[in-house]
A and B are shown apart, each in its own frame.
Chain A
């Protein structure tokens, strides 16, 4: 394999991973606040469809993205209302919405299946695009891809360098302690669930207005579920989640290259990888056995290893908080 082939594989990987980056980071934000939005697959499909329809009607890509973000936020509002205000199971409501919104997208999107529509225009960055290898990889994409890089960085900085980010992490961890420090936990959970939902919506639009450039039924190939797996794989850290998304992208693009040589294995098989990795990560981090295994090592060695591997879920994830 020569360099140009490698560049093509990696460039495809980035394109494949971009919607996933938006979805995984959106869901990471929501779960950090303590809410599981299990509706990802349905939300992405529905917003992909509405985003494309809106962009087509207005002949404006931005309108499409706005519509998709609003749809994503609206679906997550149902999750937030059912889970936070009505205190029903987040899993049940999210799961029903995952199925419902997926079917709704097929049903309402029927007239716009495979019709042409606007797409995000390519926007190579002058000068930078001419850098060998790197230019082709990072600076010959479109605004959406650049925005995804920015999102990763901004989210990471927000989480770990800003005051509201610290609060966000704390309400998913110990809401009672966060409340004691003067925060309105309920309101913040609503806010971050909506933000996460809007990002899921943008992930959907990234599909229909950029990556796949158009709408067809069930076009997202399970990206919503994959995003859920990647959030866990990423240990609720936006940077690690992005790495997970790109890793998935590389696998997919390798698979499509490999398909020409080994025809027998379809690319779908590689979609399994994130889930296998998720389960492995869960096995590694959930049980006691890692502790037992490492307990023979001296503390100075053990702690950094544990810190590197262990990425525990937010302690209050999925739990009802009574703010009285």
Chain B
């Protein structure tokens, strides 16, 4: 067996430094690109930055909205840590959110008036979680037993879930009188999670997200399950030879991710919108994929990056009013950051190889 000499001569520290230099360069370049794009529209990047900050943190309401966005983002990103660690691209996370939201809505519709409201909410969140599990396991079963790429199965299932939501909103669950894109009839206030004052942030939802995130960090670091997922993700063949139950591990990662995504969908219903709407996921599942790609699947970094991304999302909502600029700038910034980070990783690996 041939040895890779650099592995012995280069200390881990210098490798880390080189990685940091590339990542720093990527950050600079992506911001530069964003600045150029802003200049193209005839606006000053500095104005934009101040508008973004103002939009995200200007009023308590807006600040609270950052947390309302952060909740599902953290939940989904935590879930994706499991699938990415197991070596899977769970692009089906969006659909898992939607099914979670649908299951949650269903539970409230069935149980309202039958059980005390707090219990209904609890059951509803549980139902949402189970819904997400179901959708996650469906993609997982297709992958494990049908040998179907989780990427395409996941994408397909996203649209199926979305179609189901729209069908329900316009069909069986339509508002009395007219069906519309604004969603189903809002629930009674009793079935909504409590909020900070009049803001969008629901403390219970945020607490759930924090618990899930901490649990994820602990599980990935300290448990047999986390280590085994790593083993399967890095080398499925060797993991099997070492005695890991690969099939069960892959399915569990889909299960956990589906559960957290379903929970996120459920909290969108009971915590934020109080009804099922067609865009219930607000694309936060895809955004969570970006978050996890940016942090190289290291759960510790979820909180800061997700917070930054949420602030961007909320802050950019003010752009149309403040600067007559499109709010999708947040997506441009997020996408640029991740794209350049991926390319920088490629350059860094390439450079390491040519040196050796």
Contact = CB atoms under 8 A, between A and B. Distances in A.
Interface residues on A, range: 35 or more
A99 B286 CA distance: 8
Contact of A282 (B41, B152, B160, B293): B152
Contacts of B338: 96, 100
Given A104-B37, A110-B325, A265-B170, A91 B151 contact: yes
Contacts of B160: 272, 275-276, 279
Given A110-B325, A278-B152, A93 B339 contact: yes
B146 A282 contact: yes
Interface string B141-155: 010011111011101
Contacts of A232: 152
A266 B148 contact: no
Contacts of A109: 326
Nearest to A106: B328
A269 B343 CA distance: 37
A271 interface: yes
Contact of B345 (A88, A100, A103, A263): A88
Interface string A272-313: 100110110011001110000000000000000000000000
Interface in A15-38: 38
A287 B146 contact: yes
A77 B331 CA distance: 21
B355 interface: no
B308 interface: no
Interface in B255-305: 278, 286, 289-290, 293
B42 to A, nearest CB: 10
Nearest to B147: A286
A276 B156 contact: yes
Chain B binding site: helix, strand, loop or mixed by DSSP?
Answer: helix
Nearest to B353: A87
Interface in B128-183: 142, 145-149, 151-153, 155-160, 162-164, 166-167, 170-171, 174, 179
Contacts of A38: 151
B332 to A, nearest CB: 5
A272 B167 CA distance: 11
A215 to B, nearest CB: 12
Interface residues of B, number: 53
A106 B326 contact: yes
Contact of B159 (A88, A110, A225): A225
Contacts of A86: 343, 346-347, 349-350
Interface string A98-115: 011111101111110000
Given A104-B37, A265-B171, A99 B152 contact: no
B64 interface: no
Nearest to B336: A100
Contacts of B158: 275
A96 B347 CA distance: 17
A266 B342 CA distance: 39
Nearest to B163: A272
B155 A225 contact: yes
A93 B89 CA distance: 12
A304 B40 CA distance: 57
A81 B325 CA distance: 32
Interface in B294-349: 325-326, 328-332, 334-336, 338-339, 342-343, 345-347, 349
A87 B37 contact: no
A109 B328 CA distance: 11
B91 interface: yes
Contact of A272 (B37, B40, B162, B349): B162
B155 A228 contact: yes
A179 interface: no
A107 B342 contact: no
Nearest to B169: A266
Given A272-B160, A282-B153, A283-B142, A88 B335 contact: no
Nearest to B156: A275
Contacts of A124: none
A82 interface: yes
Nearest to A267: B166
A78 B153 CA distance: 25
Interface in B224-238: none
B157 A264 contact: no
12 contacts: A82-B346, A89-B342, A95-B89, A104-B335, A106-B331, A107-B41, A107-B328, A109-B326, A228-B155, A268-B162, A272-B163, A287-B146
Given A217-B326, A286-B147, 18 more contacts: A81-B343, A85-B346, A85-B350, A86-B343, A88-B343, A96-B342, A99-B290, A102-B328, A106-B326, A107-B326, A264-B179, A266-B166, A272-B163, A275-B160, A279-B153, A283-B148, A287-B146, A288-B147
Interface of A: 38, 78, 81-82, 85-89, 91-93, 95-97, 99-104, 106-111, 217, 222, 225, 228-229, 232, 263-266, 268-269, 271-272, 275-276, 278-279, 282-283, 286-288
Closest 8 CB pairs of A and B: A100-B335, A86-B346, A103-B331, A272-B163, A275-B156, A106-B328, A103-B328, A110-B326
